[in-house]
Every structure is written in structure tokens, then in C-alpha cells.
Structure 1
Amino acid sequence: MVGAIGLVLFDLDNVLYDYNRRRRAERLSAITGIAADHISAAIWDSGLERLGDAGTLPRDAYLQAFGDRIGFPVGLADWLDARRAAMSPNGPMLALVERLRASVGVAILTNNPELLTDHVDVLCPELRPLFGDRIYASASFRAAKPDVTCFQRCLAGLAVEPSAVLFVDDLPENVAGARAAGLHAHHFTSVEGVRRELAARGMAM
């Protein structure tokens, strides 16, 4: 067995839920009448989403900037509608978490604005029964992965030492950031890979 793990910290998008940014842009296009390519460039290519993830923009300022960038006012209901349209639960991963939580702590750290965690029960209704209140947006820590500060502030809130945490994320740079912060980390590519990682640490699923 490799080290004792007391908490498994999961990314959300493309780990616990499949997330399709193109589908989100297309849904926003249907709502606003603005081309999806323009929306993608205005929101994601411009760096606005990164500002939201890092908590640089408060909730209202983020929504205002979101609409300003694409040239159409986007209210909370429309933002949630488009976000929800881009997401679908990863059933095998959620089933793994259900089994895992019987023996070890589980939590989520996602690069997202606080609007996501404010409305997680609308966007991701499967999560609350599994994770309770341990669902954290990077914006609440005023830093985003892979910044080590994001991990440090999250673990301080959870009152757990980095050496007791296994972090699971689909982006190699976030995995590297977690390791730099002292966490164990697994680069997510499949549920089978997570099972193998857990088994190597004495947590056969």
C-alpha cells in the first residue's frame, strides 16, 4: 500500500461530469442569437472565464462582464441554462464515489466561478448526496488551479494535510500543481485508471 489517504479530492468537469464547452456556446447562441464562435472567442479565448475561476470578478460583475463580452445581456437563468446544457453526469465515476465515501472522505475542487457552487443543486443534482457541502469553486479561494495557493486554501478549509489527500483531475497542469502543493495526484483518463490508483493505495473499488 502506498501512503495513507484520508481524503480524495475530485475535479468536476470531465471527471465527475462530462462537460462540452462547444455545446455551452451553442446553447448561448440559441439564447442570444449571437454566433457560437463569437461567444467562444469572447468568453474563453479572451481570458474572461479565467478571471471568474480565480475570483477576480465577484458574481454580479462576472455576469455583467459575460454579457458585455458577447454583446448581449446574460442573466443568471440563461447562464445556468447554458451551463446545464453542456453537462452530463459520468455515471461510473459517481458510482465509484458512492462506494469510496464509505471508507474515506471525498470533496470537489473545480475551476469555476462561485455561481456554479451557489447553484450546484440545479446544475449537478447528483453531487449533494455524495459530497454534502464539500463542493468548492476555485473562485471562493481567490485563486485557480494549478496555482498552489488554490490547493492550500482549499485544504486549510477542509482541515486536512496535503500528504493525506489524493487529487484527481483531467488536466496534467492541475495534477502538477497539486503535486507542487504536496498532494498526491492522479491524472484522470478513465474510471478504470482511478480504480487502479485507489487499489494501489489499499482502497480497492
Structure 2
Amino acid sequence: MIVLFDMFGVIARDQSRAVMDTMSTDPAFWQAYWAHRPAYDRGDVTAAEYWRRVGYPPMVEQDVASWTEVDDEMVALLGALHAAGRRIALLSNIPEDHARDFERRYPWLDLFELRAFSCRIGHAKPSIEAFEWCRERLGDDEILFVDDQLENVEAARRAGMRGHHFTGIDGLRAVLHA
């Protein structure tokens, strides 16, 4: 069985509130930030175009910094799975600037046989095409998709994968050992 992981909310922590507050505390900013994010995540627009659409000067460095914290216990689990010969892969909604930063910062990304970054595959979760893109490259083996967003887990199931709604590492360990 291949374990296909989401990044944010599973391996990497959710966006840092402290960094977010340095970007803006205005609800209108965050509404625009999220409204235009899918196109940025898919790689349909550049960072400059994304920030133009948001209506604020580019904050690429702060935005990237707000997403860089990882869960060391999850990273250790990835290492253990890889060392045990388990096939692991990654499917993450992530813009190119963030993907490049993660690749520079975290050598453990090399543990994944496939890194499906939405900005590079042209599809973002929960689009079925994102899951199909992964399946085409991973083969016909059984795939367990792990994500903290139930909507994405349900989309993976519609694409013919098993799904695990991640709420913590203990629950994931139980599923992996079952």
C-alpha cells in the first residue's frame, strides 16, 4: 500500500497565527487572500499576479514564512515508513514560491517517491484530477490518502483511494498498523 500524504495540517503545521498577524489583521485581507489562493496554488498565476488580485503589495516572504513549521514527530514517522520499505508520496496544495522554499529547507522531502505539488501538476485538491494525476504516476497499487481536510479525503475516496481523515499521529499510526 502506498501512503499519499497531504503536507499542511499533517506533516507541516497550519499557518502561523503570529506571522499571519504581521501580514494583516483586517478580515477583508484574509477574505481576498483565500478567495484568490486556488489559482495561485495551481500555478495558474504568478506570485505578483496573486498579490495584485489580493489587492496588497506582495508579501511573498512573509507568506512563505507563515507556512514553514513542521511536526517533527510526523517527519520521524515518514523516515520510519521509508526505512521499512513503505512507499510514500506527497500531494500538496502549494504555490511555487512555497514549494521551492520547502525543497531548499527540508531534505526529508526526498523520502517521497512522488511529490505532487499543485503548482506543478496544474490541479489542486479537492479536484479529482489531482488524485488521478497521482494514481497515474504511482500505479495501480492501493493508495491511502491522509489529509486533515475531510473534503479532500472524501474526494480521494471518490477517486478510488482509501482515505484517512488526519486528526493526530496516534490515529494515523493505528490505521497504518491495521
TM-score (norm 1): 0.76
Q: Who is 1:107 aligned against?
A: 89
Matched pairs, number: 177
Taking a change above 3 Å as real, the CA distance of residues 127 and 63 of structure 1, as seen in their structure-2 partners, is farther
The CA RMSD measured in Å over matched residues stands at 2.2
Q: Who is 1:17 aligned against?
A: 12
For 1:82 and 1:52, locate their aligned partners in 2 and report how far apart those are by CA, in whole Å.
12
Decide which structure has the larger Cα Rg and report it: 1
Q: What is the CA-CA distance between 1:36 and the residue it aligns to?
A: 4.3
User: What are structure 1's unaligned runs of at least 5 residues?
Assistant: 30-34, 201-205
1:40 to 23, 30, 40: 30
SS in 1 for 2:10: coil
Q: Who is 1:174 aligned against?
A: 152
State the AA in 1 paired with 2:89: A
SS in 1 for 2:160: coil
For 2:108 and 2:51, locate their aligned partners in 1 and report how far apart those are by CA, in whole Å.
26
Is the CA contact (8 Å cut-off) linking 2:12 and 2:68 kept in structure 1?
Answer: yes
Q: What is the CA-CA distance between 1:51 and the residue it aligns to?
A: 1.6
Q: What is the CA-CA distance between 1:196 and the residue it aligns to?
A: 0.3
TM-score (norm 2): 0.86
Q: Who is 2:103 aligned against?
A: 121
For 1:27 and 1:67, locate their aligned partners in 2 and report how far apart those are by CA, in whole Å.
19
Q: For 1:135-188, what per-residue CA distance to the aligned partner results, in whole angstroms no more than 9, with x for missing partners?
A: 2212322221111111111222x3322x52111000111000001111111110
Q: What is the CA-CA distance between 1:92 and the residue it aligns to?
A: 1.3
Q: For 1:4-62, what per-residue CA distance to the aligned partner results, in whole angstroms no more than 9, with x for missing partners?
A: x1x21100001001112644432324xxxxx4434212211xx20012223332xx3x4
For 2:31 and 2:80, locate their aligned partners in 1 and report how far apart those are by CA, in whole Å.
40
Q: Who is 2:163 aligned against?
A: 185
Q: What is the CA-CA distance between 1:82 and the residue it aligns to?
A: 2.9
SS in 1 for 2:69: strand
For 2:18 and 2:29, locate their aligned partners in 1 and report how far apart those are by CA, in whole Å.
11
